[in-house]
Structure 1
Amino acid sequence: MKPLLLVFFILLTSCDYFQSKKVSTEQLLEEEMQAINWNDVDEYPTFSDCDAATTNQEKKVCFENHLHELLTSHLENQKIVVTEDVSDTVLLKIHIDKTGQFSIRNIDMDSITKAQIPQLDSILRHSFDSLPKIYPAIKRSQQVATEFSLPVIVNIN
């Protein structure tokens, strides 16, 4: 009788092992959202000129270099006259929306630079008027908006 009672007790307590645990969709979604790194993208914004780049890092460098080249060529064509030497790093806060539209959100510069070159804000904004088509960043197979800072060194003697 004791072995039969022991088998019955084992079968009764082992039923918990066969039940599946139900997980709510909200809990699954919350776990997935916490696992995503929201500060990084799978593919950075890019130009068609950067198609030859194979890795994500190469595409990012190509994109940044292309922006720097456009900006440098535009600034070199400007006639800027100052009364004092200007040496500053101007920070452009750039936004690219999920359709690839480029915009400058903010231009952060020293007050001395702003006083010496009051038109610098508009010069910087107009230097990107002739941008080629931008392909937006991609995160988890979706086009997403991105923001980044582009430092511009202004050195006028």
Structure 2
Amino acid sequence: MRQTCVLLLFLVLASCEYFNVKKTSPEAILKEELQTFNWNDVDEYPSFSICDSLTLKAEKKTCFQQVLTAHISGFLQDEIIIVSKDISDTIVLNFQVSETGYLKLIDAKIDSLTIAEIPSIETLLTKSLDSLPNIFPATKRGQQVKTEFKLPIIVKVN
């Protein structure tokens, strides 16, 4: 009986270790969460109201790119551009959409021949963004975030 009591007392004292609660600081939780966070992807891409009916993330991204490309291409087609040589170039535009939905052209990679033939091409591209419909910014975990993306635009002038 005495051995059983000693064994039971030992088990009770040894099992107290299992009841100790480890305290985790908010900083440690935040640090762990930030390590698992994918900073290069958003939950929802920037969007136009035309794209609201779409449900899949990839469809919304494609819709946004198509609306933006169509708008810029339409603007350039309405402009009277006179060239001495035929131009067939792909311009890569780097955009930034702010947390408030403001679209800004950061950079444009344009071939030197295109710049020589159409010196005002970058001004025209920037001007084409003035008449864009309202943009809903990208979201990450329910928060509106700033995003950057590249968009190729094909320019053909005969």
TM value normalised by structure 1: 0.91
How much has 1:57 moved relative to structure 2? 2.1
Q: Deviations over 1:68-112 (max 9, x none)?
A: 111111111223233333332211111111111111111111222
Distance 2:113 2:74 in 1: 24
* Counterpart residue number, 2:86: 85
Rounded Cα–Cα distance in structure 2 between residues aligned with 1:37 and 1:74 = 36
Corresponding residue of 1:31: 32
Deviation digits for residues 31-83 of structure 1, max 9, x if unmatched?
Answer: 11122211111111111122222222222222111111111111112232333
Task: State the 1:124 CA deviation.
Answer: 0.9
Query: Which amino acid in 2 is paired with 1:108?
Result: K
Correspondence list, 1:138-157, <5 A: 138-157=139-158
Cα distance in 2 for partners of 1:69, 1:129 equals 14
* Structure 1 Cα separation of the partners of residues 157 and 131 of structure 2: 25
Gaps of 5+ in 1: none
* AA partner of residue 91 (structure 2): V
Number of residue-to-residue matches in the alignment: 157
Offset of residue 139 of structure 1: 1.0
Q: Report sequence identity in percent.
A: 46
Letter of the aligned partner of 1:46 in structure 2? S
* 2:122 maps to amino acid: D
Counterpart in 2 of 1:94? 95
How far does residue 118 in structure 1 lie from its aligned partner after superposition?
Answer: 1.1
Q: For residue 124 of structure 2, what is the aligned residue in structure 1?
A: 123
Task: Give TM-score, length-normalised by structure 2.
Answer: 0.90
Moved over 6 A (4+): none
SS of alignment partner, residue 72 of structure 2? helix
**CA distance in 1 between partners of 2:74 and 2:157 (Å):** 16
Letter of the aligned partner of 1:132 in structure 2? Answer: P
Partner of 1:16: 17
Per-residue CA deviation, residues 123-152 of structure 1 (Å, 9 max, x unaligned), is 111112111111111111111111111111
SS in 2 for 1:63: helix
